[in-house]
Chain A
Amino acid sequence: RKEVEQDPGPFNVPEGATVAFNCTYSNSASQSFFWYRQDCRKEPKLLMSVYSSGNEDGRFTAQLNRASQYISLLIRDSKLSDSATYLCVVPNSNSGYALNFGKGTSLLVTP
């Protein structure tokens, strides 16, 4: 299993839809996880940290399943401004210093 794997998409959804992304990881010892958002030609920005079973922030919910080693990100009531690439991030199994970034899942929200 790769360090971090994500479905690249693209996910094309209409405004108001609910969309979910999954991410699987190989480092079973990982304790902290992150979802970053990257807009076109911009830097990645932290969306959510996930330290326990899950985290919710407004329309965004991240869930962690340690047994199956996957993390999900749920976006409710999608907005046009949610269009971006969502990066799943997991600590590197060889070094706790590094974070491994998934290749990202592309989301396009359409009117």
Chain B
Amino acid sequence: DTAVSQTPKYLVTQMGNDKSIKCEQNLGHDTMYWYKQDSKKFLKIMFSYNNKELIINETVPNRFSPKSPDKAHLNLHINSLELGDSAVYFCASSRTSGDTQYFGPGTRLTVL
């Protein structure tokens, strides 16, 4: 049983396209997150949702839009993809905000 799952695992697409990454957690956690890990391996928070409500929205272009249909899911939609969006995107969840976070396997996005 996978605790935090993401799909797809790999995503290769052209500049200008729109794509979505899905995340689901079966841990019963209240809080979910999206992180971006760039080529320099720095892991940076993008968004956080607590019980389907947005609680963190770091300085991220508005081409990135998270959506949480319920507290077990947090999807990430990206419009008009750019070369600089190439990175690994990790979803995570925690029992409550600020608690230990459990990560999904990551989605490796490559924009050509």
Contact = CB atoms under 8 A, between A and B. Distances in A.
A78 B106 CA distance: 28
A46 B102 contact: yes
Interface residues of A, number: 21
Contacts of B33: 98
B31 interface: yes
A66 interface: no
Interface residues of B, number: 24
Contact of B55 (A87, A97, A103): A97
Given A85-B41, A91-B98, A103-B42, A97 B50 contact: yes
A32 interface: yes
A37 B106 CA distance: 15
A58 to B, nearest CB: 18
Chain B at the A interface: mostly helix, strand, loop or mixed?
Answer: strand
B31 A97 contact: yes
Contact of A95 (B56, B90, B103, B104): B56
Interface in A20-55: 32, 34, 42-46, 49
Contact of A87 (B43, B45, B48, B50): B43
A34 B41 contact: no
A3 B45 CA distance: 13
A11 to B, nearest CB: 15
Contacts of B40: 103
A46 B100 contact: yes
B50 A44 contact: no
Contacts of A101: 35, 42-44
13 contacts: A42-B106, A43-B106, A44-B103, A46-B100, A96-B98, A97-B31, A97-B56, A98-B45, A98-B48, A98-B58, A100-B45, A101-B35, A104-B41
* 8 cross-chain pairs, A with B, having the tightest CB-CB distances, nearest first: A97-B97, A43-B103, A101-B43, A96-B98, A98-B45, A97-B55, A44-B103, A98-B56
